[in-house]
Structure 1
């Protein structure tokens, strides 16, 4: 976030060319280049991985639309980013349909098995299970939702069938991709977990060793699994032999000799057969004259981003000094997180006061707690979204702690020549998920159920995110689409666990209020106000703003990096801009169908999106 004329970071350098499709990974000796910015026509794709971006772009070039390309890119990420996403997990798909002008969402979140209970993560003494033990267990495995999400996205919005859109990912899995430093590092960070499970070690530690940078990594098992889905449809995942393998693996994970017993899972064939990806109404708020759409519960992303924006709408951030604007952002983020922790969960099981959380009256009441000069002691109490709002009340809500949440996940953003947009965040939860690979199938099972609270913070009060049969755990995934007078303007999202929410929020504020380009806003130093005792912040953020903000009472804890966003923006003259993270998590990859950077002067990338008054 910055004031006009004040730069925290330099604009990402413009590349003279977009990502090329390149030779097959098996013919390469070095990882393909990652280009974080592209401007052009005909559609665009932005992901964390150049191979996945190329797969999505190829679908657009062959006449597919944004939904087709998004599913294709997601399947490719299941090959090249298997520790962050894949068919063993779930996610949220937000889509703008240019023909109707409507934004729709698909909830592909994993569900708890029907045998799960509120005390399933408690030990024999009634204490919460060790978190690491829970992650590396069949008990953490929720019913995967990604295959049904792909099916529903193609049925509702796509123009190609699953067999066609999976073709690129099948080739990538069969022929292989070139290992880069990020893939090797993530494997190394998970090596102990992976060695617990023989099928995982066999696949991801070939020959018993970490994969070398520059080597070619192949996954023929996943190629066969994708071919099965291409030929028989995703019903093959939820029934038949593949379903039997998924259930058997979750119920009784095979451990390596000499390792501790792994807690068994509760997943059954009944859970798989009953799973449905659901259509949900998106969250929606107006901000500076723009329409911001996000994902409703069980995601807390759309509601928390929207609530914070509603609060910030009451301030002229673009006219403030940098420190004043960032202070306001930090306080609004903390207040929104306090309400998220207290009220948001799966609304099929808990009553989420979503309309009130996003109401103007509640936002006005909450901003009473923001002192323009001094940070409130954290954590702050939740508000009371009861529809009765008046002059600044005394704090009446409870302080509810944030539960644990993994920091992995991946996000992709796609737009096509007709103006359709897909903003899709998908995950297997922790980096490396549960660590449990389905033998012979080529993919890791999620540990999404550790997103539930293991026990209530206060047994005398309702807890919105406790486990229950069939319940979807609360998520922070925040795929977002922004319209300007009904026309698409930008879309974005990020990985990062609960920091996803603040990454998306800060990027939106930087782009809309800070007069940054989308590329600047994505690469800017980040902070993550989540109502904890300290604000997580990157070193450069602390270096630039830490002293001034600490003087106001803010407390910071240093975090090496926060998030790894991708986004797309529609520019004047029919141009589209694709932007990806240039550095974090090894950098991302943006591409357009037809690059125009060599054909004409690049337009101003950072005009105000709307009147900030």
Structure 2
């Protein structure tokens, strides 16, 4: 059943309740791997202003495809489908039909959280990623395998959303991507650099023959790349719907590619594919700065962690976070880091697929209740503690063990607001850059195709701790792995009008990129572009990463004096953001990638 959330009810409930692969492949650093894709240089962006509608996406060709659909009278959901199909072609390292995603969609009356997250096959077991001695296997070893592939959910989710909130015919939404796949598109600088840097993609014969020259070099920037296999697959899906992906020849070809891998073959079956179902969940909304901030419930940890961080800072009500200048000071960043460590401790212990793990106190909003946030805020001291533990939301006594830190990657983000004030935020992923590195042609026999995800590596490799306590996000049959994807919509709770749409790729750092952009746009009154371009921070339990070249030595030394473990890293976010103002829809796209905002 579709679960729609009227905004008035969501806000009333709140009132009642007070809501790049440059690593060492042989031994990756867990915190290093929690960053997004590698840095490939900056693309200067000045921001955009559009009067009627706007489409923000990770590639200009994809953004223009969404604009084209809106011009033809399509809904925001229609436009998002066209955008995503193009992204799977021009930005294959980040998302595509071989992966999954989360779509938060507002149709002017109701808010729907469409869950297209991948699922573990029925044959998956908790020891999936343990070696013969019962130890967690090397992360990169697990990635490049058939066993890492979850049942893809993207197409089924998009089709379900289209049936509910689409306006143009399904097949019409495929036309921009099919045209580009057949006529070709120029390989971008980012795609070229990521192909050149990836140490694993060569191992797949189909990918090696498609993305590299005969000499084994990455296709050069500007190379006109056609993808006849994907064009043929898209034509079939346009005519027959998503069922053609989950049954028949396409499904059989997918299984053939993942059940016969030399290392860790998949247990996935035709029944797993045919049985996949997207879920229309109830959005999770929280009040912040007199706005209603809505995002995804579990299996995403994004909305809960973002709103815990912002909620704790709001409870503290310190001048250190009141404006941009104060925030980027030793005192301001210390408070943010400590609030983040508290949120990530809760995330590590409690958050997983809600069909497998009960919410603390029976309600995920228990993690956002004012009294609970006040109790967590009281734990922040002038000097960082060595260890931060999960709290007890809803007075819960739990036997769950916290999940150890392990790598997370991924993704691409789309934000759209149409001329009627309807909009969406959608984050999609194949997890690691180029996913499992398995390129499949759908049995067409043509060059190209689509890449399969490695989303099952988002599960905890360890099913339990040394004391035998289970980890919430362990592998289980039919389960959806925990995610950090944070598609976010912001509303004026009084008028029920959409105010903003935003999100980002970046693995676990998505939480921080989203929180930073919300602070910039809504608390510090910056334009989306200026908020997106603020220096990035990624604070996890063990260490804090600061964007390389954006912080002076004094700040690093001052944070270390407060007990923080800080390091400088490239933090390649890919934030897209739209903000509705009296001047029009302001758009921003991350200069760290190739994002673009198209509109009218």
Q: In the superposition, relative to structure 1, how do residues 572 and 458 fare at CA in structure 2: closer, same or farther (>3 Å)?
A: farther
1:148 corresponds to 2:156? yes
Tell me the residue number matched to 1:470.
Answer: 478
User: What are the within-5 Å matches in structure 2 for residues 190-229 of structure 1?
Assistant: 190=198, 192-207=199-214, 208-229=216-237
The answer as to whether partners of 1:283 and 1:306 remain within 8 angstroms in 2 is no
Tell me the residue number matched to 2:17.
Answer: none
How many residues are aligned here?
A: 539
Q: In the superposition, relative to structure 1, how do residues 535 and 43 fare at CA in structure 2: closer, same or farther (>3 Å)?
A: same
The answer as to whether partners of 1:117 and 1:468 remain within 8 angstroms in 2 is yes
Instruction: Give 1:356 deviation, angstroms.
Output: 1.4
Instruction: Give 1:387 deviation, angstroms.
Output: 3.7
Tell me the residue number matched to 1:437.
Answer: 439
Tell me the residue number matched to 2:392.
Answer: 384
Instruction: Give 1:115 deviation, angstroms.
Output: 0.1
User: What are the within-5 Å matches in structure 2 for residues 405-484 of structure 1?
Assistant: 405-439=407-441, 440=445, 442-455=449-462, 456-484=464-492
CA displacement 1:509-557 (0-9 Å, x = unmatched): 122223322211101001111222x201102443273233333222211
User: What are the within-5 Å matches in structure 2 for residues 571-610 of structure 1?
Assistant: 571-573=581-583, 575-582=584-591, 584-585=592-593, 587-593=594-600
User: What are the within-5 Å matches in structure 2 for residues 6-155 of structure 1?
Assistant: 37-98=47-108, 100=109, 102-155=110-163
Tell me the residue number matched to 2:269.
Answer: 268
The answer as to whether partners of 1:406 and 1:431 remain within 8 angstroms in 2 is no
Instruction: Give 1:234 deviation, angstroms.
Output: 0.6
Instruction: Give 1:327 deviation, angstroms.
Output: 2.3
Q: In the superposition, relative to structure 1, how do residues 92 and 375 fare at CA in structure 2: closer, same or farther (>3 Å)?
A: farther
Q: In the superposition, relative to structure 1, how do residues 379 and 152 fare at CA in structure 2: closer, same or farther (>3 Å)?
A: farther
Q: In the superposition, relative to structure 1, how do residues 164 and 566 fare at CA in structure 2: closer, same or farther (>3 Å)?
A: same
User: What are the within-5 Å matches in structure 2 for residues 220-299 of structure 1?
Assistant: 220-253=228-261, 261-299=262-300
Q: Give the match's secondary structure for 2:105.
A: strand
Q: Give the match's secondary structure for 2:587.
A: strand
1:368 corresponds to 2:369? no
Q: Pick the aligned partner of 1:335 from 342, 345, 351.
A: 342
Instruction: Give 1:376 deviation, angstroms.
Output: 1.9
Instruction: Give 1:302 deviation, angstroms.
Output: 1.3
Instruction: Give 1:493 deviation, angstroms.
Output: 0.4
Instruction: Give 1:329 deviation, angstroms.
Output: 1.6
For 2:456 and 2:396, the matched residues in 1 are separated by 35
For 1:549 and 1:128, the matched residues in 2 are separated by 33
Tell me the residue number matched to 2:304.
Answer: 303
Higher mean C-alpha deviation, range 316-325 or range 296-305: 316-325
5+ residue gaps, structure 1, are: 1-32, 254-260, 390-395, 594-613
The answer as to whether partners of 1:34 and 1:49 remain within 8 angstroms in 2 is no
Q: Give the match's secondary structure for 1:537.
A: strand
1:538 corresponds to 2:547? yes
Instruction: Give 1:398 deviation, angstroms.
Output: 8.8
Instruction: Give 1:206 deviation, angstroms.
Output: 4.1
Tell me the residue number matched to 1:19.
Answer: none
Tell me the residue number matched to 1:511.
Answer: 521
The answer as to whether partners of 2:401 and 2:470 remain within 8 angstroms in 1 is no
Q: Pick the aligned partner of 1:318 from 301, 322, 325.
A: 322
CA displacement 1:399-423 (0-9 Å, x = unmatched): 8354423322111111110011110
Instruction: Give 1:298 deviation, angstroms.
Output: 0.6
The answer as to whether partners of 1:379 and 1:399 remain within 8 angstroms in 2 is no
Q: Give the match's secondary structure for 2:371.
A: helix
For 1:252 and 1:281, the matched residues in 2 are separated by 38
Instruction: Give 1:87 deviation, angstroms.
Output: 0.3
Tell me the residue number matched to 1:570.
Answer: 580
For 1:348 and 1:79, the matched residues in 2 are separated by 33
The answer as to whether partners of 1:527 and 1:541 remain within 8 angstroms in 2 is no
For 2:162 and 2:190, the matched residues in 1 are separated by 31
Deviating runs (4+, > 6 A) in structure 1? Answer: 396-399
Tell me the residue number matched to 1:165.
Answer: 173
Tell me the residue number matched to 2:187.
Answer: 179
TM-score normalised by length of structure 2? 0.86
Q: In the superposition, relative to structure 1, how do residues 339 and 388 fare at CA in structure 2: closer, same or farther (>3 Å)?
A: closer
For 1:36 and 1:150, the matched residues in 2 are separated by 32
Q: In the superposition, relative to structure 1, how do residues 558 and 369 fare at CA in structure 2: closer, same or farther (>3 Å)?
A: same
Instruction: Give 1:570 deviation, angstroms.
Output: 0.5
TM-score normalised by length of structure 1? 0.85
Q: In the superposition, relative to structure 1, how do residues 199 and 36 fare at CA in structure 2: closer, same or farther (>3 Å)?
A: farther
Q: In the superposition, relative to structure 1, how do residues 518 and 289 fare at CA in structure 2: closer, same or farther (>3 Å)?
A: same
Higher mean C-alpha deviation, range 474-483 or range 199-208: 199-208
Instruction: Give 1:459 deviation, angstroms.
Output: 4.2
Q: Give the match's secondary structure for 1:469.
A: coil
> In angstroms, what is the RMSD of aligned CA positions?
2.0
Q: Give the match's secondary structure for 1:327.
A: helix
